Structure 1
Amino acid sequence: MKNFILALLSGFILALGWPTYGFPLLLFIGFVPLLLMEHRVRTSSVGWKKLVVFGYSYIGFVIWNYITTNWLQYADVFGASFAILVNSLLMALMMVLYHSVAKRATRNISLLFIMCLWMAFEKLHLGWDFSWPWLNLGNGFSEYITWIQWYEYTGTFGGSLWVWLVNILMFKAVLTYRIAKSVQPLKKEGILIVSLIVVPILISLGIFHSYKMEGTPVNVIALQPNIDPYSEKYDVPNEAIADLLLKLTDTKINAETDLIVAPETVFADNVKISQLEDMYFKRKLDVYLSEHPKTNLLTGISFINFITDSAQIKEQSNKHSSGFWYDDYNSAMLLNQSDSVQLYHKSKLVVGVETLPYPEIIKPLIGDFMIDLGGTLAMKTTQEDREVFTTDNKNLIAAPIICYESVYGEFVTGYVRNGATVLAIITNDAWWGDTQGHKQHLSLARLRAIETRRDIVRSANTGISALINAKGEITSSLAYNTQGALSGTLISNDKISFYTLAGDYIARIAIFVALFVFLITMFRRSRVF
C-alpha cells in the first residue's frame, strides 16, 4: 500500500506543478516519491521486482499524463489514449532501467544515470516518429519566465537538469533522515537544496531586469478569424476566407504596418501549387497589398501537388484510390509587392494526423490509418531546411513556424540561424476546444522567445493570438473563441543566443553519460543492500 501511495503522490505532484495552472516549485519534489518507491522495492524481499517497479511507476505516470494532456481527447479519443498510455509506458521503462542500474552501482552513480537517462528520453521524444515532447520537464516553467531567462544558454534541457538535480538531493535527504531519525544531519543538504533552487532564479531575475530590447521596431497585425474547423473551415471557399481576413485587417492596418499574419491552413481548400497565381483569392490579396505597398502578408495555406513523374514519388507521397500519386502540404506563404511568392512546408508533423509513424511497420499492420480532423486525409510532405521569409522591410526576416513546430526548441533555432529576426507562429488550436491545450501551446511559445531572444507574433485561428517579447512576456493578446485582429510593435534583431548556436548540447552530454554508465554497470554483479 505504501508503494501505491508513493506512486500516486508522484503523479499528482507532477501534475499540480504543470502549466498553465500549476506551481512549478512542485516539480522539484515530483520524482522523490517514485525514487522512494523504487528504493523500497529494491531493498525488499518481494519477487518480480522489475515488474513491481514498472507497475507502480506506470500508475504514477498515467496520472501525470492524463491530468496534463487529457485535452487531446477533444480532438480524438484514440489519439489521446495512445499518447497518454504509451508515453506513460516509456516513462515507466526509464524507472525500470534505473532499477537495473541501481542494483549494481553506487547510489550517486545510479542517480546520475536516471537524471541523464531521463534527458536522453526527452531528446528521443524530440526526434523520433512518435515524437511527443509536451511533457519534457523544462517546459514546466513556461509560465514563470522570470525564473528561466538563462534558457538562452541552456534551452529547456537546462530546466530538466535543474528539476532532476533538486529531486535527487531531496531524495538523498529523505534517506538520510530515515537513517538518522533527526533533522540535524540535514542542515548541509538543506542549504544546498535551497541554494540550488534560489540561485538560478536570482540569476534569471538579474538577466530579466537587465535585458535590453535592442533592434528595429516593426509593426505587425495578428489575425484571429475564429472559424470552427469541425463545421466551417473546410466548407468555406478560399475567396470568402480572403474577404474575412481583409475585413479584419482593415480594422487595424495603417501606413506603417510591416507584416500581417494569418493562421495555419486558414486557406483550407486545397490549392494546386502550379495554379496559385491564377486563383481568384490570390488576386484579391495582391490587389489589397498593392494598396498597402509597405505591407507583407504571411498566411497558412493547404497545397496539393499531383505527381506525373514516378521518379518524384517520395516516402510521404500519397496514393489516391484512383491510382494517381500526390503530395499534400500544410504550408505558409508570404506575399508582397516586390517578390515572388515565398513558401515553406510544415516539417514537424502531428503523429496520426499529418504523418504515419514508421510506415514500413505500421502500414502492413493497420493499413493507411490516419486520424480525420477534417480536410484532406493524407500524410503531409515536409521540407528539409527551415525556410525564412524576407519582407519589403530589410530589417524584418520572419520565421514561418507552423503550429506543432513551436514546441521544438532546437528545431526553431534553425530559422534563426538562417536569418530570422522575428518569429511568426501560425496555428489552429481549435481542435481541443476551450481546454488547457491551447493555453499550454501558447505558454510553450514563450520558451522559444527566451531561447532565441526573438520577439514573436502568434496568429491562432480561434486563439489565443498574441505578441510576445524576447523576454517571454506576453505583451498583448486576443481572448480564445473571439474574432478580431491584434496590432502592435515587435523588436526585430539579428543577435544570436548561445543556445541558438549550441542547441541541445546538455541532452547530448546526457546521452553519452547514460550510455557509458549503463554499459559499465551492466557487467557488474548486483550489489547487496
Structure 2
Amino acid sequence: MKNSYLLAILSGLLLALAWPTYGVPLLAFIGFVPLLLAEKHIRESNYKRKGTKVFFTAYLAFIIWNSITTWWIWYSTPFGMFFALAVNSLLMTIVFSLYHFVAKRLPAKIHLIFLPAIWMAFEKFHLNWDFSWPWLNLGNAFSQYTTWIQWYEYTGTFGGALWIWIINIGVFTTIVKYQESKNRRILSKGIARNVLLIAIPIIFSLFLLKNYEESSQKAAITLLQPNIDPYSQKYDISNLQMAKSLVKLAEPVVTSNTNYVIAPETALAKGSSIDAFDNATEKMVLQNFVSQYPNMQFITGVDFYRHYPQKEKPTITANFYGQNGWFDFYNAAVQVGKNNISEKYIKSKLVVGVENFPFKNVLEPLLGDVMLDLGGTVAMRATQKDRSVFFSNDKVFAAAPIICYESIYGEFVTGYVKNGANFLAIITNDAWWDNTQGHKQHLSYARLRAIETRKSVARSANTGISAFINEKGEVTKTLAYNAKGSLSGEVTINNKETFYVKYGDYIARLSVLFAGMILLYAIARKKQ
C-alpha cells in the first residue's frame, strides 16, 4: 500500500504542476498514470476492502492537486478554502471509485472507455449543480498554451479533457503491456504512438492559427481599473463618489471615437434600487459624461436590490431584514447610453456560499440562513434566466456583459453569442484572493472563451488584471494587478457563430450517455 500512496502523491503533484499559470500542461498527459497503476495494483491484489483502499489512495492524489492549485481561496476565508478543497477532492474521488467498481466487473477495453466518460460526465455535472466549482475541469489546463488548442472552437474545453484522457490511458496501457511482456519494442511503439497523439492536435491547431483571419471591423474601448480594496474601501464609498471617480479615470483617455467605457463588477457597490436606478444621481453623472461623446456607451457593475414591504416571503431568493422587510439582491451589469432607460443584466452563475445558498429549499429548514463565506458580501442573490446583450445605439456593436465567475463557463457564455453578442465584455473583481494564482488563472480562462466563440474580450477588473484578448485567445494588452488606471484599445467585432457556439458541450453529453450505459451494464453483470 505504501507504493500505492507514493503513486497517488506523484499523480497529485503532476496534475498540480500541469496547471496554469505556472505549470507545464504536458504533465497533464501523464498526471493520472500513477494513480491508474495504483488502482490496478490494488484491484489485482489480495487486499481486503479494496474499494476503501482505492478511495483513500485517490483522495490523497486529488487533495494534493486541489490544494496546490486553489489554496489561494484562503485569502477570502480559511474555512471556505478547507471546505472547497475537501468537497471537490471528495467528488473526484467518488468518480474514480466508480471507475474502480466498473473495472472489477468489465474488461479493460470497456472500463478504460468508462473512465474518461464518467470523468467528463462529472465535469458537466459540476458546471450546473448548486455546488458548481469547475475551476479544475481538465480542459482549462491549456489556457496559457492557446497555440495548442485553436480547435476549441469546435470542441470547447471538453475536447481538451478528452485529449488528456486519451494520452493518459495510452501511456498507462503501454506501461502495463511492457510490465507483462518486458518487450522493449512494445514500450518504444507505445511511446511513439502517444507522442504522435499529442503532436497531431497541436499541428492541427497551428494550422488553424496560421490560417485564421480576424474580423476587420473594430470597436474602440477604454477599460477602467479603480483598484479599490474590497475589504476596507469599497463599501465606504458612495455610488455618487464612485461614479465621479470612474469618470475622472476615463476623461484623459477617451476620444470622440470611443465606443465603450467599461468599469468592473460592482463598481457601484453601495446598493441601489433596481427600480429607481435610472433616476439616481450616479446614473446621471455617467449619462452626462456619455452625452459628450457621439458614439459612447458606459458599462459598469452595480450592486442592486429590490425591496418588498410585505411580511410573507416574496421570492425564494429573498433575504429577511427584520422590520425592514424582504430584499432581493442582484449582482448586475448596466449599460448607460444617451437613452434615459439603461440596459441591465443580472448575474446568473453565482459563487457558492457568497451569492448562492446551495439547495436552499432543503438546507434552509435544517440549517437556517447559513452561508459559506468564500469572499465578498454574504447574501443570497437572485438571477435571471436568459443572457442579455448590450447593443449600441446603431446596433453595430453588441457586448456580452459577463460578470466575474460566469467567464469560466464555456457553454454558458455561448448563450450571449446566440443572443447576438459580437464581443465579450467581462467585468470582474479579483481582489478577494490577493496577488496569487487565483486572479491570474481567472484571466487565463478568459482566453478559452475567446477561442471557443471567436470573440474578442475586453476585461475590466478591479484590482485584478484588466486586459484585451483577441479572437485567437492572445492577450494583447494588460493593466497590471494592483494598478489604478485605464487601458485603451480595440476589439474586433465578429458576428459569426462557431461550431461550439452552435452545439455546445456535445462531447460531455455523449460522455454522460456512454458512462450511464456502461455503469448499468456493470451493475447488471454483477447481478448475473
Place the TM-score, normalised by the shorter chain, in its bin. Answer: over 0.9
8 Å CA contact 2:159, 2:507 repeated in 1: yes
Q: Whole-Å Cα distance in 2 between the matches of residues 398 and 125 of structure 1? A: 27
Residue aligning to 1:14: 15
Give the aligned partner of residue 153 of structure 1. 154
2:431 matched residue in structure 1: 430
Q: What is residue 247 of structure 2 aligned with on the other side? A: 246
Verify the 8 A CA contact 2:307 2:328 in the aligned structure 1. yes
CA distance, structure 1, for counterparts of residue 454 and residue 61 of structure 2: 36
Number of the residue aligned with 2:71: 70
**Matching of residues 4-403 of structure 1 within 5 Å:** 4-308=5-309, 313-322=314-323, 324-338=325-339, 340-371=341-372, 377-403=378-404
CA distance in 1, matches of 2:353, 2:59: 24
Match in the other structure for 1:478: 479
User: Quick one: distance in 2 between partners of 1:375 and 1:120?
Assistant: 30
Distance 1:349 1:213, change over 3 A: same
Is the 1:293–1:337 contact (alpha carbons within 8 Å) kept by the matching residues of 2? no
Secondary structure of 1:18 counterpart: coil
SS at match of 2:298: strand
Give secondary structure in 1 for the equivalent of 2:525: coil
2:353 and 2:374 in contact (8 A); partners too: no
- The range that moved more, 475-484 or 310-319, is 310-319
The answer (yes or no) to whether the contact 2:130–2:352 under 8 Å persists in 1 is yes
Q: Which amino acid in structure 2 is aligned with residue 386 of structure 1? A: R
Contact 1:293 1:336 in 2 (8 A): no
- For residues 432 and 464 of structure 2, the distance between their equivalents in structure 1, rounded to whole angstroms, comes to 11
2:420 aligned with 1:419: yes
- C-alpha deviations, 1:90-130, integer Å up to 9, x for none? 11111111111111111111110011000000001000000
Residues of 2 paired with 1:380 and 1:279: CA distance?
A: 22
Cα distance in 2 between the residues matched to 1:510 and 1:339: 48
Distance (whole Å) between structure 2 residues aligned to residue 312 and residue 522 of structure 1: 45
Q: Does 1:452 align with 2:437?
A: no
Match of 2:227, SS state, is coil
User: Which letter maps to 1:86?
Assistant: V
- Aligned residue type for 2:165: W
Q: CA deviation at 1:372?
A: 5.0
User: Aligned-pair distance for 1:274?
Assistant: 2.2
Residue number in structure 2 paired with 1:504 = 505
SS of match in other structure, 1:302 = strand
2:459 is paired with a residue whose SS is strand
Change (3 A) 1:348 1:269: same
CA distance in 2, matches of 1:269, 1:193: 55
Does the C-alpha gap of structure 1 residues 417 and 271 become closer, same or farther in structure 2, counting only changes over 3 Å?
same
Aligned residues: 527
Task: For 1:305 and 1:338, locate their aligned partners in 2 and report how far apart those are by CA, in whole Å.
Answer: 23
- Secondary structure of 2:63's partner? helix
Given that 1:239 and 1:281 are in contact with CA atoms closer than 8 Å, whether structure 2 keeps it comes out as: yes
One-letter code aligned to 2:498:
S
Kept in 1: contact 2:354–2:377 (CA 8 A): no
Q: CA deviation at 1:233?
A: 0.1
For residue 257 of structure 1, give the secondary structure of its aligned residue in structure 2.
coil
Task: Please give the secondary structure, in 2, of the residue aligned with 1:65.
Answer: helix
Question: Aligned to 1:130, what secondary structure does the other structure show?
Answer: coil
CA distance in structure 2 between the partners assigned to 1:237 and 1:329 by the alignment: 18
Letter in 2 for 1:497: T
Corresponding residue SS for 2:276: helix
- Conservation of the 8 A alpha-carbon contact between 2:352 and 2:372: no
Contact 1:104 1:526 in 2 (8 A): no
Shift, 1:310, TM fit: 7.5
Quote how far apart the aligned CAs of 1:323 are: 6.1
Which region of structure 1 is more displaced relative to structure 2, 87-96 or 140-149? 87-96
Amino acid at match of 1:474: V
Q: Secondary structure at the match of 1:348?
A: coil
Question: Could you tell me how far 1:188 is from its partner in structure 2?
Answer: 3.2
AA in 2 matched with 1:416: V
Q: CA deviation at 1:174?
A: 0.5
| Structure 1 residue 240: Cα displacement | 1.2
Q: Distance in 1 between matches of 2:477 and 2:110?
A: 47
- Please name the residue that 1:3 is paired with: 4
Matches of 2:84 and 2:65, distance apart in 1: 12
Q: Contact (CA 8 Å) 1:151, 1:451: kept in 2 or not?
A: yes
Task: Quote the Cα distance in structure 2 between the aligned partners of 1:65 and 1:133.
Answer: 12
Give the Å deviation of 1:396: 0.6
Whether the 8 Å CA contact 2:310–2:326 is kept in 1: the answer is no
1:417 aligned partner, one-letter code? K
* Change in 2 beyond 3 A, CA 1:80/1:235: same
Q: Which letter does structure 1 place at the counterpart of 2:342? A: V
Unaligned residue ranges in structure 2 (runs of 5+):
none
1:51-78: CA deviations, max 9, x gaps?
Answer: 0000010001000000000001101111
Aligned residues of 2:214 and 2:492 also touching (Cα < 8 A) = yes
Q: What's the counterpart of residue 410 of structure 1? A: 411
| 8 Å contact kept, 2:309–2:324 | no
Name the Cα RMSD after superposition.
Answer: 1.6
Shift of 1:186: 2.7
Amino acid corresponding to residue 157 of structure 1 in structure 2 = F
Identity %: 51
**Distance across 1 between alignment mates of 2:74 and 2:228:** 20
**Whole-Å separation in 2 of the counterparts to 1:518 and 1:115:** 13
SS in 2 for 1:395: coil
State the secondary structure of the residue aligned to 2:224: strand
Q: How far does residue 307 in structure 1 lie from its aligned partner after superposition?
A: 1.9
Per-residue CA deviations over 1:351-378 (Å, capped at 9, x if unaligned) read 0000100012222332211245787542
Q: 1:223 to 1:168 in 2, by over 3 A?
A: same
Residue deviations 1:493-526, cap 9 Å, x none? 1000000000000000000000000101122249
Deviations 1:249-294 (A, max 9, x none): 0121011000010000000010012221332211111111111131
Does the CA-based 8 Å contact 1:421-1:493 persist in structure 2?
yes
Alignment check: 8 A CA contact 1:230 1:374 kept: no
Q: Name the CA distance, whole Å, in 1 between partners of 2:375 and 2:205.
A: 43
- Distance (whole Å) between structure 1 residues aligned to residue 139 and residue 527 of structure 2: 33
What displacement does 1:215 show? Answer: 4.0
SS for the counterpart of 2:275 is: helix
Paired with 1:186 and 1:514, the residues of 2 have a C-alpha distance of: 30
Alpha-carbon offset, residue 402 of structure 1 = 0.2
- Shift in CA distance, 471/230, structure 1 to aligned 2, threshold 3 Å: same
Residue deviations 1:183-237 (CA, integer Å, cap 9, x gap)? 2123432232111100000000011111101241110011000000000000101
SS of the equivalent of 2:230 reads coil
Distance (whole Å) between structure 1 residues aligned to residue 283 and residue 76 of structure 2: 31
Opposite residue 185 of structure 2, the aligned amino acid is: Q
Structure 1, gaps ≥5 residues long: none
What is the SS of the residue equivalent to 1:448?
helix
